[in-house]
Amino acid sequence: MELLTINNVWMMICTALVFFMHMGFSLLEIGLTRQKNTINILFKNIFIITVGLLLYCLVGFNLMYPGFGEESSGFFGFAGFGLDAVAAADLAYNEGYTYWTDFLFQGMFAATAATIVSGAVAERIKIVPFMIFVVIYVGLIYPIAGSWKWGGGFLDQLGFYDFAGSTLVHSVGGWAALVAVWLLGARIGKFDKDGKPKAIPGHNIPLATAGVLILWLGWFGFNGGSVLSAEPGATSLVLVTTCLAAAAGGVVAFLVSFAKFKNLDLTMFLNGILGGLVGITAGADVMSPTDALIIGAIAGAIIVFAVSLIDRIKLDDPVGAIAVHLVCGIWGTLAVGIFSNNPDHTFITQLIGVGAYAAICIISTFIILFTLKKTVGIRVSEREELEGLDAHEHGMNAYSDFRMNEH
Amino acid sequence: MELLTINNVWMMICTALVFFMHMGFSLLEIGLTRQKNTINILFKNIFIITVGLLLYCLVGFNLMYPGFGEESSGFFGFAGFGLDAVAAADLAYNEGYTYWTDFLFQGMFAATAATIVSGAVAERIKIVPFMIFVVIYVGLIYPIAGSWKWGGGFLDQLGFYDFAGSTLVHSVGGWAALVAVWLLGARIGKFDKDGKPKAIPGHNIPLATAGVLILWLGWFGFNGGSVLSAEPGATSLVLVTTCLAAAAGGVVAFLVSFAKFKNLDLTMFLNGILGGLVGITAGADVMSPTDALIIGAIAGAIIVFAVSLIDRIKLDDPVGAIAVHLVCGIWGTLAVGIFSNNPDHTFITQLIGVGAYAAICIISTFIILFTLKKTVGIRVSEREELEGLDAHEHGMNAYSDFRMNEH
Amino acid sequence: MELLTINNVWMMICTALVFFMHMGFSLLEIGLTRQKNTINILFKNIFIITVGLLLYCLVGFNLMYPGFGEESSGFFGFAGFGLDAVAAADLAYNEGYTYWTDFLFQGMFAATAATIVSGAVAERIKIVPFMIFVVIYVGLIYPIAGSWKWGGGFLDQLGFYDFAGSTLVHSVGGWAALVAVWLLGARIGKFDKDGKPKAIPGHNIPLATAGVLILWLGWFGFNGGSVLSAEPGATSLVLVTTCLAAAAGGVVAFLVSFAKFKNLDLTMFLNGILGGLVGITAGADVMSPTDALIIGAIAGAIIVFAVSLIDRIKLDDPVGAIAVHLVCGIWGTLAVGIFSNNPDHTFITQLIGVGAYAAICIISTFIILFTLKKTVGIRVSEREELEGLDAHEHGMNAYSDFRMNEH
């Protein structure tokens, strides 16, 4: 009983920290985009965390942890609608947490995947189709895909490993972001007549920076809670690998971008931190601190090149979500196959896992968004885009009545 | 000893989270009001949390938990000035927390009630009279009223139930807000010549949104800590009911306001979340998740209509504090009488509780503020209101030297 | 095992809270300075937390806790490069925390000292020399100085006491800030032709206020974690003394500054809170709540006079770091000699400790910065200072594309 109580306290705190990541994502996304679309982005993020929780309660939790039977192929299962008061009443449910904690911790994760997409499609997606996409993606795709590994499905049986979600959360969001960005097209003004990318600076870098620090804080819970108990050796190792990868990712991204562009680029520093965090997430519990430093450092370097590459292939991702969550998510997942001492975690099984998630995410996102594009449309009008989504979709300004006092 | 240690860790974390709610309130209040009054609102909030703690140390804790004797009528008691080092030294004080934790957790609650008032009276109240009001209300009224239930007073003996303060904290703040708003009158420009309300948009919606997310995070501690131990079943159920009510409240407020106004109103979404949180607070430990969804959803609907109603009866509440904290606080308290399976919690006892708190809060607030109004005055001059309280009362601008870079 | 698990959970949470203080420092520093240097300050803070952690991993931890042998004079020791996987594997390492937690908690502290300097030198220091200074100061000076007390060195053997770092963290940062500010000179426009100081208002007081509230929250971990276990009596007492000192410091600073300047000065209120927090930090575990109130109140009064004094001697400290961290750090350290009931903590040993840290910090900072000044230079050009460091060093604006909607 004491051990359950301790473990459950830790898991509840981690749940709170993962919840707080939604504030981090919100601030990061509005900070890196233009003022005229701020309300729209905040609205989307608030929609995602609330509707995400409700859907996870209604169907997600039972899609993700269906309790695959022995004869099941481990692709799809469903344990029924709603929460299970009988399971909840049994404190022997798990020694690491109660049924309620389990639901809430996993529910906080669920909404994260959609939030990743939100940043990538910012400043030009129509809000109602986006909300429809979120409902389907968070409600059905994320938990079904999640069941393949964390629910004990076929990838789990294959030996695929993803500790806290480099693939199951970050790539799942990242693949959808990639497809969505491709289907949507670039923002007006992002590429000039010759196809050269132009920087569209974010309107509030202090809030973006705060967002990254909040995300880092949230990762204490995201990775720390993924131990699924408060076991002192495992949880504290995970926090160390997580923080070292973040630090290494940031510093290397800053150094590489300085070498490349002769510029002390704060945004790249911040994205490097996020890349390091995403990169370590798949194996934070099976790495040594030295491994973590290497994985984070490589993630930091990847970020700089991935951001450039995505620009070059004319994909417009305002917040760098594809580089951070998809590319570093893949890197982190494969890194488990390279660095882990556990012989079950081979490079091949990791690669299979990456491919499986690519398949479900790309296909499902394409079907949903292509259908929406051909019916209601997914992109706002040119006028709305130029004047800002806040005025058109929300009738509201982010910063009304702002007066300055020139000095 | 181990169990006390665990429980106390949980309670200390919850204390920290409730402290953090003061940042949430601060950001929400400045975000929803005009730039010219930002310093004033921040000053009030900083005053409330610091002075509130000092007063709770001096008298509040011992007014709220006086240890009513058997012959006491349970209306008023006082256990003496200051903290009690003897009680503090005894680790058998309570199995859920130490004496110090008990004081600090309850102290963080105390300041909250006054913060609720702060938002409602923003942009036109004189600061010195407001500070006098805070000292009396936080120092005396809140703890005396609190003793009636949480201190084991007459309402507790009647069977009245308020788990974490829908009434004891939120309505206590809300009733005072109602009286204060009525005595103060509306801001210049809030109602036109025909009495029609005009929206006065807030100057920084990103900070208001951050404030709501911080408040939601803080509610993990506000409700989670009100279990008064880390008992795993109870604490984790409370977090689930709290979060589901918040989500349901937000989504329903958004949907109802969309149906009513054909507008994707972020502020209403945010207020719906807060309404759901306030609504579940009275019974978060005695509700099923389904109950919580219903209570939150109703709170969300209530918010939309209450905000309109308050406008229609010409009360000017810049941040919607009355709708959120008073109306949803009453709803949440009555909901315990409707949904709780505990036969002690009847609708009638809940109604008596609501009435008793209405009486003490309305009467005391009226006496304090009416006296101040007739003596020093409670409202700033017209010129000060038009030019902003920051320049007049604080000689300072919230955003000096702001330059823009038009794009 | 249960006790280790609980203790370790508490220490991990405290680690997260101390990490979060870096967000508090970042927001405070940018809020109190001008918009044109915002990116620069954020960049410095992000650099400090990432590089600080990496250096602490590489050398700092083993410089600070070298395990002084019996024959050692306790001035300097080094236990080798990198972390120690063997020590980490042994859960008997300490009953309060694992090796990993120990490293990470202490690592989060390390970066704080440099952050304090960052604020004081803001708006005119060249970034590359500053980064060099940070590497040496965080990597070598801080941990060597720290080993004298927390590593069991000569000051520890003398009976010097510093619970959580009024001297070891805050004064170590504050002394460096003092030397740096003196070597750098004042910002253009800070003093007029007659040497009279002029206020240069900060550009975003809401973020500065948020920063202070985050710092206060972080102090729950900074002081609470310095108990080095979750022992319920000690940890909860520490939180109470910490919060009461913060509250008393703020209120007294506000009252004294009101008496002196007839102004409700929010910045002074905030600095008073920080002064109270710094002041209580050296003895938070050995004080009664009443002692804490007195120590905090005196710190609050000190702040008002120290800020004026620093202005008068023509030192330009944009964020008040010297008054808060150095002056209140000294006060808090000496206060242990006055208030503590432990006969080992005498005023004389405390004074010796203050002097020893003054010596190492002043001398080392002077050598580093004077060398940099005479070689690469430490101050930006006049043009760069006038136009802002953001444009020159980072090619970026903090708030691009800001449009207002006058009301």
C6-44 residue pLDDT tens: 999 999 999 999 999 999 999 999 999 999 999 999 999
Residues from chain B that touch C204, judged by Cβ atoms under 8 A, are 398-399, 402
Residues from chain C that touch A247, judged by Cβ atoms under 8 A, are 49-51, 53-54
CA-based nearest residue in chain A for residue C86: A288
Please give the pLDDT value at position B405.
39
Provide CATH code, domain B2-68+78-394. Answer: 1.10.3430.10
Residue A109, phi-psi category: left (phi > 0), alpha (psi -120 to 50), beta (remainder): alpha
B144's tokens: 């005396």
The CA distance from B66 to C111, in Å, is: 45
Burial level of C132, CB count in 10 A (0-12/13-18/19+)?
middle
Looking at the complex, does the CB of residue A9 fall below 8 Å from at least one CB of chain C? yes
Lowest mean pLDDT among A162-166, A238-242, B13-17, B390-394: B390-394
A405 pLDDT exceeds 60? no
Q: Inter-chain contact B217–A16, Cβ cutoff 8 Å?
A: yes
Please give the pLDDT value at position A114.
86
C337 pLDDT exceeds 90? yes
Asked whether the beta carbons of C275 and C328 are under 8 A apart, the reply is yes
Which phi and psi (to 5°) does residue A125 adopt?
-85, 145
pLDDT band at C407 (very low <50, low <70, confident <90, very high): very low
Q: How far is B155 from chain A (nearest CA, A)?
A: 31
C111's tokens: 């970066």
Residues from chain A that touch B407, judged by Cβ atoms under 8 A, are 34, 201
Q: Inter-chain contact B104–C236, Cβ cutoff 8 Å?
A: yes
pTM score, whole prediction: 0.97
The CA distance from A43 to A34, in Å, is: 15
Which candidate from C201, C288, C403 shows the least CB-CB separation from B406? C403
As a whole number of Å, the end-to-end CA separation of chain A is 62
Interface test with B, best of C228, C240, C258 (most B CBs within 10 A): C240
Asked whether the beta carbons of A197 and A191 are under 8 A apart, the reply is yes
Residues from chain C that touch B12, judged by Cβ atoms under 8 A, are 10, 220, 224, 235-236, 239
Candidates A271, A258, A302; CA nearest to A202 is A271
Looking at the complex, does the CB of residue B233 fall below 8 Å from at least one CB of chain A? yes
C330 pLDDT exceeds 70? yes
Residues from chain C that touch A403, judged by Cβ atoms under 8 A, are 404, 406
CA-based nearest residue in chain B for residue A5: B232
Q: How many CA atoms lie within 13 A of A331 on its CB side?
A: 27
Please give the pLDDT value at position A404.
42
The CA distance from A24 to B161, in Å, is: 36
Interface of C with B in 272-331 (CB under 8 A): 273, 288-290, 293
Asked whether the beta carbons of C16 and A17 are under 8 A apart, the reply is yes
Looking at the complex, does the CB of residue B103 fall below 8 Å from at least one CB of chain C? yes
Which phi and psi (to 5°) does residue B4 adopt?
-60, -40
pLDDT band at A22 (very low <50, low <70, confident <90, very high): very high
Q: How many CA atoms lie within 13 A of C395 on its CB side?
A: 9
Looking at the complex, does the CB of residue B30 fall below 8 Å from at least one CB of chain A? no
Helices (H), A282-388: 289-312, 321, 328-339, 347-374, 382-387
Tokens 């003394």, residue located: C241
Interface test with A, best of C2, C27, C46 (most A CBs within 10 A): C46
Residues from chain C that touch A269, judged by Cβ atoms under 8 A, are 43, 46-47, 50
Lowest mean pLDDT among A44-48, B14-18, C189-193: C189-193
Please give the pLDDT value at position A344.
86
Asked whether the beta carbons of C205 and C31 are under 8 A apart, the reply is yes
As a whole number of Å, the end-to-end CA separation of chain C is 62
Q: Subunits with at least 3 CB pairs below 8 A relative to chain A?
A: B, C
List all residues 6 or more positions away from A392 whose beta carbon is below 8 Å from its beta carbon.
Answer: A380, A384
A25-54 mean pLDDT: 97
Please give the pLDDT value at position B85.
85
- Residues making up chain C, counted from first to last: 407
The CA distance from B365 to B379, in Å, is: 16
Asked whether the beta carbons of C357 and C150 are under 8 A apart, the reply is no
Please give the pLDDT value at position B400.
79
Looking at the complex, does the CB of residue C189 fall below 8 Å from at least one CB of chain B? no
- Tell me the count of A-C CB pairs closer than 8 A: 176
Burial call B121-157: b when 16+ CB within 10 Å, e when fewer: bbbbbbbebbbbbbbbbbbbbbbbbbbbbbbbbbbbe
Please give the pLDDT value at position A401.
54
Domain residue extents for chain A: 2-394
Work out the widest C-alpha separation in chain C, in whole angstroms.
73
CA-based nearest residue in chain C for residue B211: C210
DSSP letters, A134-161, are HHHIIIIIHHHHHHTTTTS-HHHHHT--
CA-based nearest residue in chain A for residue B211: A23
Please give the pLDDT value at position A341.
85
DSSP letters, B372-402, are HHHTT-SB--HHHHHH-HIIIIIS--TTBT-
The amino acid sitting at B305 is F
3-state secondary structure at position C9: helix
Candidates A107, A109, A132, A120; CA nearest to A47 is A132
Distances (CA, A) of A147 to A60, A79, A107, A276, B353: 10, 12, 14, 26, 48
Secondary structure of B188-213 as H, E, C letters: CCCECCCCCECCCCCCCHHHHHHHHH
Q: How far is B399 from chain C (nearest CA, A)?
A: 5
Q: Inter-chain contact B231–A5, Cβ cutoff 8 Å?
A: yes
Burial level of A407, CB count in 10 A (0-12/13-18/19+)?
middle
Which phi and psi (to 5°) does residue A405 adopt?
-125, 85
- Beta bridge partner(s), residue A191: A197
The CA distance from A101 to A107, in Å, is: 10
Candidates A286, C38, C240; CA nearest to B8 is C240
Candidates A325, A402, A370; CA nearest to A129 is A370
The pLDDT tens digits for C231-266 are 999 999 999 999 999 999 999 999 999 999 998 999
Q: Which helix (H) or strand (E) holds A208?
A: helix A205-224
Interface of B with A in 253-272 (CB under 8 A): 254, 263-267, 269-270
The CA distance from C9 to A231, in Å, is: 9
Please give the pLDDT value at position A200.
93
Q: Inter-chain contact A46–B246, Cβ cutoff 8 Å?
A: no
Which candidate from A36, A202, A244 shows the least CB-CB separation from C57? A244
Tokens 């160390």, residue located: A240
B8's tokens: 């106390």
Asked whether the beta carbons of B272 and B296 are under 8 A apart, the reply is no
Q: Inter-chain contact B240–A30, Cβ cutoff 8 Å?
A: no
> Can you say whether the dihedral through the CA atoms of C151, C152, C158, C161 is positive or negative?
positive
Residue B65, phi-psi category: left (phi > 0), alpha (psi -120 to 50), beta (remainder): beta
Percent of chain B surpassing pLDDT 90: 90
Looking at the complex, does the CB of residue C103 fall below 8 Å from at least one CB of chain A? yes
Distances (CA, A) of B107 to B102, B164, B215, C240: 8, 14, 17, 10
Looking at the complex, does the CB of residue A86 fall below 8 Å from at least one CB of chain B? no
> How does pLDDT run along chain B (407 residues), one tens digit per residue?
799 999 999 999 999 999 999 999 999 999 999 999 999 999 999 999 999 999 999 999 999 999 998 888 999 999 999 998 888 989 999 999 999 999 999 999 998 888 999 999 999 999 999 999 999 999 999 999 999 999 999 999 999 999 999 999 999 999 999 999 999 999 999 999 888 999 999 999 999 999 999 999 999 999 999 999 999 999 999 999 999 999 999 999 999 999 999 989 999 999 999 999 999 999 999 999 999 999 999 999 999 999 999 999 999 999 999 999 999 999 999 999 999 888 889 999 999 999 999 999 999 999 999 999 999 999 999 999 999 999 998 988 999 754 443 33
The CA distance from A240 to A242, in Å, is: 5
Q: How far is C210 from chain B (nearest CA, A)?
A: 7
Tokens 């006086």, residue located: B66
Q: Inter-chain contact B49–C247, Cβ cutoff 8 Å?
A: yes
Looking at the complex, does the CB of residue B49 fall below 8 Å from at least one CB of chain C? yes
Interface of A with C in 56-75 (CB under 8 A): none
A407 pLDDT exceeds 70? no
- The CATH superfamily label for domain C2-394 reads Ammonium transporter AmtB like domains (1.10.3430.10)
Q: Subunits with at least 3 CB pairs below 8 A relative to chain B?
A: A, C
The amino acid sitting at B328 is C
Looking at the complex, does the CB of residue B403 fall below 8 Å from at least one CB of chain C? yes
CA-based nearest residue in chain B for residue A36: B407
Please give the pLDDT value at position A71.
85
> Can you say whether the dihedral through the CA atoms of A135, A137, A141, A143 is positive or negative?
negative
Q: What share of chain A is helix, strand, coil (3-state, %, to 5)?
A: 70, 0, 30
Which candidate from A9, A38, A53 shows the least CB-CB separation from B9? A9
Angle, helices C2-31 vs A232-261, to 10°: value is 30
Q: How many CB atoms lie within 10 A of CB B358?
A: 18
The pLDDT tens digits for B318-362 are 999 999 999 999 999 999 999 988 888 999 999 999 999 999 999
A23's tokens: 């504030």
Asked whether the beta carbons of C7 and C235 are under 8 A apart, the reply is no
Q: Inter-chain contact B239–A101, Cβ cutoff 8 Å?
A: yes
A406 pLDDT exceeds 60? no
Mean pLDDT of chain A: 95
The interface pTM score, or ipTM, of the predicted complex is: 0.97
Residues from chain B that touch C263, judged by Cβ atoms under 8 A, are 394-395
A240-259 mean pLDDT: 98
Residues from chain C that touch A244, judged by Cβ atoms under 8 A, are 53-54, 57
3-state secondary structure at position A42: helix
Looking at the complex, does the CB of residue C30 fall below 8 Å from at least one CB of chain A? yes
Candidates B165, B132, B134; CA nearest to B148 is B165
Q: How many CB atoms lie within 10 A of CB B290?
A: 15
Residues from chain B that touch C206, judged by Cβ atoms under 8 A, are 27, 30, 38, 42, 204, 207, 398-399
The amino acid sitting at A81 is F
A44-63 mean pLDDT: 97
Q: Inter-chain contact A269–C407, Cβ cutoff 8 Å?
A: no
The CA distance from B24 to C209, in Å, is: 12
Candidates B298, B198, B285; CA nearest to B248 is B298
Mean pLDDT of chain C: 95
Please give the pLDDT value at position C401.
54
